[in-house]
Amino acid sequence: MSLTDTGVTERIANTSPPDAGRPRRRLTERLLAVRELSLLLALGALILVTMLHNDRFLSSQSIKDLLLGCAILVILAVGQTLVIITRNVDLSVGSILGLVAFATGELFLAAPGTPWPAALLLGVALGAVCGAVNGGLIAVAKVPALVITLGTLYAFRGIDYYWAAGQQINAADMPRSFLRLGNQTLLGVPVLFLVALVVVAAAGFYLHSYRSGRELYAIGSEPAAARLSGVPVGRRVFAVFVASGALAGLAGVLYAARFGTLDAAAGTGLELQVVAAAVVGGVAIFGGSGSVFGAALGAVLLTTIGSSLAVLRIDPFWQQAVVGALILAAIGLDRLLAARMAARLRGRSARGA
């Protein structure tokens, strides 16, 4: 089932009937289901065209590389989805990933015997602290998320560069057990991708099954109305930024395991790909609707586009052009669906009157 905008009507004034928001939810669920189906169809068409050009595109090794390539982006897209749903954006995830990745390498240099699960937990904790900095400034100081996270993007990256001081950490400096995590498979599926699937499933279950998860949609739909209906907006916004930071920290540790060679530039520019994956996946940039499943599909689609264009020997410039066109199309489609949904709801209200 697609996760959707639950609407502030579920939380608003006691005079509203208990089922007032259900027609809107059902309609939005159908629209988003179509949106996610269209992503699957686009992904299938892209794979088919590429296979016709090169039948080895879906070899076992190619599939493994594709899943490895999208796993980290999927994890980051889940965190970004939680933030965007609340009508915010986190531009610092690439810098958090880079900082945590380098910190992981430094940890293994300073304490070679550190078990990799401990490194994983420390990386998630460091990412959560960075997310708490973002969330605290936004929720307490009431400064727009775009401004704050743009500032912390440079601040975290600056800390990373100062710490690295031109140093590069190589795979030989890290434990083999940790590096195996980055390429290990389970029943032919990369472990990194399985971790990404667990993150998607957990976030999707939370948004759909918990009241606090549904309240995120209410905040994104109309923050003022959500606040008046008793939703702790500041606390929820703070929490989603901590979650986004923690997932960026997780992605940073997995990045270190995947690539081995680390420097201060790790993750540079990744934040734009993350936002693109979420938006292309149907998460409304204006907040209030979308699903982590759609965002994950968006991440897989963008990764597949990059691989397909390389196989088709198309200039890398066109990859950026295609992604830009997809973002514009996604935003336009969001506005069109929102307008049609509003018109249908008005029509139903008029008939009911």
**Which pLDDT score is estimated for 17?**
39
**Which pLDDT score is estimated for 62?**
81
Residue that has been written with the tokens 């109305």 in this structure: 225
Q: Which of 98-102, 204-208, 264-268 has the lowest mean pLDDT?
A: 264-268
Q: Which residue has the higher pLDDT, 316 or 18?
A: 316
Is residue 310 predicted with pLDDT exceeding 70?
yes
Is residue 25 predicted with pLDDT exceeding 60?
no
**Which pLDDT score is estimated for 350?**
60
Is residue 24 predicted with pLDDT exceeding 60?
no
Q: Which residues contact 102 (CB under 8 A, 6 or more apart)?
A: 160, 163, 164, 169, 262, 263, 264, 266
Residue that has been written with the tokens 């299938």 in this structure: 44
**Which pLDDT score is estimated for 150?**
93
Rg (CA), the chain: 21
Is residue 74 predicted with pLDDT exceeding 90?
yes
Mean pLDDT score, 111-117: 87
Residues forming beta bridges with residue 29, ordered by sequence position: none
Q: Which residues contact 222 (CB under 8 A, 6 or more apart)?
A: 8, 288
Q: Which of 3-17, 58-72, 206-220, 309-323 has the lowest mean pLDDT?
A: 3-17
**Which pLDDT score is estimated for 6?**
43
Is residue 117 predicted with pLDDT exceeding 50?
yes
Is residue 285 predicted with pLDDT exceeding 80?
yes
Residue that has been written with the tokens 């639950």 in this structure: 6
Domains of the chain (ranges; CATH) run 19-49+72-342 (1.10.3470)
**Which pLDDT score is estimated for 64?**
86
**Which pLDDT score is estimated for 42?**
77
d(CA 129, CA 243): 10
d(CA 157, CA 220): 29
Is residue 222 predicted with pLDDT exceeding 90?
no
d(CA 110, CA 299): 35
**Which pLDDT score is estimated for 19?**
43
**Which pLDDT score is estimated for 347?**
63
Q: Which residue has the higher pLDDT, 221 or 244?
A: 244
Mean pLDDT score, 81-87: 94
Mean pLDDT score, 191-195: 93
Is residue 237 predicted with pLDDT exceeding 80?
yes
- pLDDT mean across residues, the chain: 82
Mean pLDDT score, 165-191: 85
Is residue 304 predicted with pLDDT exceeding 90?
no
Per cent of the chain over pLDDT 90 is 35
d(CA 175, CA 105): 10
Contacts 24+ apart (CB under 8 A), 54-59: 54/311, 57/307, 57/308, 57/311
3-state SS string for the chain: CCCCCCCHHHCCCCCCCCCCCHHHHHHHHHHHHHHHHHHHHHHHHHHHHHHHHCCCCCCHHHHHHHHHHHHHHHHHHHHHHHHHHCCCCCCCHHHHHHHHHHHHHHHHHHCCCCCHHHHHHHHHHHHHHHHHHHHHHHHHHCCCHHHHHHHHHHHHHHHHHHHHCCCCECHHHCCHHHHHHCCCEECCEEHHHHHHHHHHHHHHHHHHHCHHHHHHHHHHHCHHHHHHCCCCHHHHHHHHHHHHHHHHHHHHHHHHHHHCCECCCCCCCHHHHHHHHHHHCCCCCCCCCCCHHHHHHHHHHHHHHHHHHHHCCCCHHHHHHHHHHHHHHHHHHHHHHHHHHHHHHHHHHHHHC
Mean pLDDT score, 78-82: 95
